[in-house]
Structure 1
Amino acid sequence: MAVRLPRPHRFDVGAALAGLLGGLLLWGVGLGTRPADDPIVLLDGRWPVLLPLAVTAGCEALRRVRPRTALLVGVGALALDTVTRGNLVTVVMFTDLVYAAVVYGPPATARRIPWITGLLTVAATVVPVAVRRVPEALLAGVVTGLVALMPAATGWIVRNHRETAEAARLRAEQTALLAEMDRAQAVTAERARMARELHDMVANHLSAIAIHSTAALSLDDPETSRQALGVIRENSVDGLAEMRRLIGILRNSTGGDPEPAPAPTLDGLGALVAGARANGLDVTLDAPAMRVPAPVGLAAYRIVQESLTNALKHAAPGPVAVALAQRDGVLDVRVTSSYGRRDDDPRAPGSGTGLVGMRERAALLGGSFAAGPDGARWTVRAAFPLTEGDLA
């Protein structure tokens, strides 16, 4: 299977062609980096200069796709150029190969090249001075620094800046992603809260309306129909008031002017039980006066409200007991009703989300919730931990 070589970058191909043409121009006019009588020139004549020039230009085209290979081959081409009359463009292209190997090469290569070129620069400075003992020997170190160390150092700086910028971009993307996730979770939580509030506020009144309207339609008794219509009207008015309260909360949360009505508390349990009695339930309330945190009071009120609604729709005729007690830093809420009905169908349809909403309310406040049959009774129990510092 043939190995497909990577395609050179368009800019690198253009740079290679420009370098080759520039080198040919200098070669054509006879400009070299060393005179013909220089002792280091082993390959005299004009033609040997072209081979390292062509090889370096080819390496320049691979500076991004094969930076290490291009640098290694470029080192050999530069060594060959050193023993000829030389071409300035070959040296310039080699410095770019050093730079590209640091910028585009693997991380290990990018770390090693500055150290290697630094050591070569020190050696090119110290050794000639120690051997020749003349100031002109320092020029070898200067040339090595310009050709090798400076491009490597520049490439290291550029690479660090690029990696820093890339890391900052990734952090920004991660921050935006986390912010979007937090926003989506906040929207989901708010929708769930609104769904619980809407269900708990309206279900009780609509259930009573459905039950009494069914009774009014099924019984041919003017007095019974009149009483049923009275209950229907009362629950309609109360349900409308609760809906207005919810709308007021929503408007206030979006910057509206209307002031929402206060959320219900345990002080409103008496009126809640009175409304349940008007709807036909035999309810007893055992709830001594107590001080609890506002969120706990609202959750306990909603659980009692939903439990009475379920008793109205599903429970068999019989007493319903509501009891609240505060002991050992815990508010205990218990609602019991008769278990089972004489027929299989509830007197009003249910959404199936009542128990889910009550369990969510308890969990949000770190409490517990349980509902189920207990002998001949259906028991709903919730327990909320209380904090003295949060008592209202």
Structure 2
Amino acid sequence: MRSAGLWAVAAFLCGALLIAGGAVFRHGADKWALLVPLALTCAGIAVRWRSPLGSLGLGTLGVVVDLFVGPSLPTLLVYTDNIYTAALYGPARFARWLLGVACCLAVLVGAVAWFLTEDWRPSAVYGVQVGLMLISPVTTAMVLRQQREQAAAERARAEQVARLAELDRQAAIAAERAAMARELHDMVANHFSAIAIQSTAVLSRKDLDSRTVRTVMESVRENSVKGMAEMRAMIGLLRQDDGSGNGGDAVRPRLADAESLVERARQAGMTVELRVEGEPRELPASVDLAGYRILQEALTNALKHGGRSAGVVLGYRAESVRVVVDNPLASGASGASGAVPGVVSAMVSAGAGAPLVSGGAGASLGDGAGAPLVGGGVAGGSGGGGSGRSGDRDDRGRRGEVWLSGAGAGLVGMRERALLVGGSCEAGVVDTLSSQVAVWRVEAVLPTGVVAS
């Protein structure tokens, strides 16, 4: 605002000096009277920011007055700035309308001059002069307006691209975090679940001999070392920065390594039977990893919530690979509440006087009567609410028992892994004709991308 006022004062002073010097088109004109239209056009400069159209209105009024008392060159020069301001800062439609009016006035002035003088030379001179005075500021303002609009559109487009890039980056980060979470969960849960079960069972028993304790602690140490090795391998893979993508195969688990998973479950105290159907073959990397992790998580859930035995079936078909893990529900796993392993939490407890380990290092965890220590129980009883479960959990903690969280990320992670490779994974209780005990089954079917001929 203040700068516009200063420009208006400066324009008025310069115009007054030009008028005093004789910059008028009619000799004998009253120079003091010519200051009035000059002041009107300069007032248009003062209000150019607040009202571009008002600036043009004041300038037009000043030019009309100047035509009667002058005209004078300074007033016409200042008027071009009024036209420029209205075309640049006014509505875009008004700028186009103003260009049309300027062209019509230039033609009209030329025609009137030819009609009065009947000579084309003054007609051309007056028409060109009016055209330069009216059309030039309008076209200049329109070109500058177009450039500004293009620049604004480019900025908006750049901001939109930046927002989309940021959304893509966030989505990529979220997907990577989800993948890392699945991988870390599947990698660590198997080892740490066995560690928690065995160490808690040892701590809860006071009548164990040194040989039994040593056997269990050796299994705990082995699971700890293997878990740390797998975590170290994954951290090393994440730190790789060569972009080659070759380091993944060196640490990627394979479904062909199922025997090592089964052996690990046996060392943790389970009796596991592995059966392979079909001819094992090289699988796609994503399918190989998904099958391995699903098998690992299923065995971990069986160790935490199931009985002392499990059956594993790996079926290699022409177009897919099938992973099935069956384990009988532990006694008490299916109570009045209808809870089943993998859906509710399970606890591990040791009864007084019951042997912890019978046999060698590969024996199962159980008591003398054959009831497994690894049992699926309903927290808080059949009708307990949230507070009851919390209270029972605290009581179990005081008795030296451990609370193992149930089907949260485990079942969800298995289903996610199967879906990511275009397969399916189902988990639930199935009835068997050969046994009176209900069986918890995890079954995954993963496509291999090979179409049978």
Return the match for 1:12 from 4, 12, 16: 4
Q: Which amino acid aligns with 1:358?
A: M
Q: Using the TM superposition, name which of 118-127 and 79-88 deviates more.
A: 118-127
Whether contact under 8 Å (1:248, 1:259) holds in the other structure is no
Q: In structure 2, do the counterparts of structure 1 residues 240 and 105 end up closer, same or farther at CA, with 3 Å as the change threshold?
A: same
Q: Using the TM superposition, name which of 191-200 and 322-331 deviates more.
A: 322-331
Q: In structure 2, do the counterparts of structure 1 residues 54 and 359 end up closer, same or farther at CA, with 3 Å as the change threshold?
A: same
Q: Which amino acid aligns with 1:384?
A: L
SS at match of 1:31: coil
Separation in 2, partners of 1:221, 1:254 = 53
SS at match of 2:251: coil
Return the match for 1:182 from 137, 160, 168: 168
Return the match for 2:425 from 369, 373, 377: 369
SS at match of 1:285: strand
Aligned residues: 373
Unpaired runs of at least 5, structure 2: 334-344, 349-401, 432-437
Q: In structure 2, do the counterparts of structure 1 residues 309 and 81 end up closer, same or farther at CA, with 3 Å as the change threshold?
A: same
| Offset of residue 138 of structure 1 | 0.9
| Offset of residue 321 of structure 1 | 2.5
SS at match of 2:313: strand
Return the match for 1:297 from 284, 288, 291: 288
1:263-308 residue CA offsets vs partner (Å, 9 max, x unmatched): 0111111211121122122222233414431101101110110111
Whether contact under 8 Å (1:23, 1:87) holds in the other structure is no
Separation in 2, partners of 1:331, 1:128 = 96
| Offset of residue 131 of structure 1 | 5.3
Report the equivalent of 1:232. 220
Return the match for 1:277 from 266, 274, 278: 266
Return the match for 1:313 from 272, 282, 304: 304
Please show how residues 40-51 of structure 1 align to structure 2 within 5 Å.
Answer: 45-51=30-36
Quick check: which one's helix share is greater? 1
Report the equivalent of 1:346. 347
Report the equivalent of 2:398. none
Q: In structure 2, do the counterparts of structure 1 residues 341 and 193 end up closer, same or farther at CA, with 3 Å as the change threshold?
A: farther
Whether contact under 8 Å (2:322, 2:444) holds in the other structure is yes
Separation in 1, partners of 2:93, 2:105 = 18
Please show how residues 244-255 of structure 1 align to structure 2 within 5 Å.
Answer: 244-253=232-241
| Offset of residue 158 of structure 1 | 0.8
Report the equivalent of 2:16. 24
Separation in 2, partners of 1:236, 1:225 = 16
| Offset of residue 57 of structure 1 | 1.2
Whether contact under 8 Å (2:34, 2:72) holds in the other structure is yes
Percent of residue pairs bearing the same amino acid type: 41
| Offset of residue 327 of structure 1 | 5.0
Return the match for 1:380 from 431, 442, 446: 442
| TM-score normalised to structure 2 length | 0.75
Report the equivalent of 2:99. 114
Q: In structure 2, do the counterparts of structure 1 residues 380 and 22 end up closer, same or farther at CA, with 3 Å as the change threshold?
A: same
Report the equivalent of 2:252. 263
Separation in 2, partners of 1:237, 1:33 = 103
Separation in 2, partners of 1:32, 1:331 = 99
1:220-269 residue CA offsets vs partner (Å, 9 max, x unmatched): 1333222212211221221122112112211214779x956330111111
Report the equivalent of 1:61. 46
Unpaired runs of at least 5, structure 1: 1-8, 37-43
* Higher relative contact order (Cα pairs below 8 Å, separated by 6+ residues): 2
Q: Which amino acid aligns with 1:129?
A: W
| Offset of residue 208 of structure 1 | 1.0
